Amino acid sequence: MKFFTILFLASVLFCCGKINKRAVEGHVMNPITGLPIEGVKMSLVKTTNGLPGGEKTIGSAVTDANGYYKIEEKSMKAVYLQVNTFGNYHPIGWFKDGSYSGGNNFPIEKGDVQTVDFHAVPYGNLQRHVKNISCFNTFDEIKLYYDGASKANYGYNIGMMTTLTGCIDITTNPLKMTSDYHYFHWAVTKNGLTNTYYDTIFVNASGVTNLDIFY
């Protein structure tokens, strides 16, 4: 009788352990290209709610070749999912239920399996070549504007970048930018007439991408 009692208790504990186990999973990827990002460490961190002792990592995983990770843990109470700094990438943020949220930590709620993705894009370099190819006179003017990017606009501040006059031919040094679609426009004034032009350029993750502004 004693043997069966012990066996019954062990079965109950085993079942409860399985029921209480929770998991968080997802993908780390570049949302612009759809490519996965391998080798990113994701950690579950338990907070102390202001008490001494700091944070404690209770589980972790590294994304595989498909950018996938999964972490299982019995308790999801007061737990954050944390992404570690990785490589030559610019973080966009956590993606869950169709919306983004920023920061390195994402609060995890109780649930059997939760799906939380993280998006990031690599960096590239952009070089501008601004040339007045049909110069009227020294009063020719160009006002160059940066209008942002499709996902992450690291590199330039949105708004007017520069005003240049005369018969110019200028090539800038390469500037580190997110590998993304970036939007520009410029207003050109010649002989008292102003025309506005628009361009979209994709900054590659490798090498230097050129933006030619010929007017």
CA 61 to chain centre: 19
Hey, CA dihedral for 84, 85, 89, 95, is it positive or negative?
positive
Closest CA to 204 of 7, 36, 32: 32
pTM of the model: 0.81
Q: What are the structure tokens assigned to 170, written together?
A: 């200028």
Pairing status of strand 105-108 against strand 159-165: unpaired
Q: Are 201 and 211 in contact (CB under 8 A)?
A: yes
Q: What are the structure tokens assigned to 165, written together?
A: 């006059």
Q: Would you list the domain boundaries of the chain? A: 14-115, 123-214
Q: What are the structure tokens assigned to 27, written together?
A: 């993908």
Closest CA to 119 of 143, 132, 102: 102
Fold of 14-115: Immunoglobulin-like (2.60.40)
pLDDT in tens for each of the 215 residues of the chain? 444 444 343 444 444 444 456 799 999 999 999 999 999 999 999 876 655 566 889 899 999 999 999 999 876 676 899 998 788 999 999 999 999 999 889 998 877 789 999 999 999 999 999 999 999 999 999 999 999 999 999 999 999 999 999 999 999 999 999 999 999 999 999 999 999 999 999 999 989 999 999 99
- Looking at 3.30.70, 2.60.40, 3.40.50, 2.40.50, the CATH number of the domain 123-214 comes to 2.60.40
14-115 shares its CATH topology with 123-214? yes
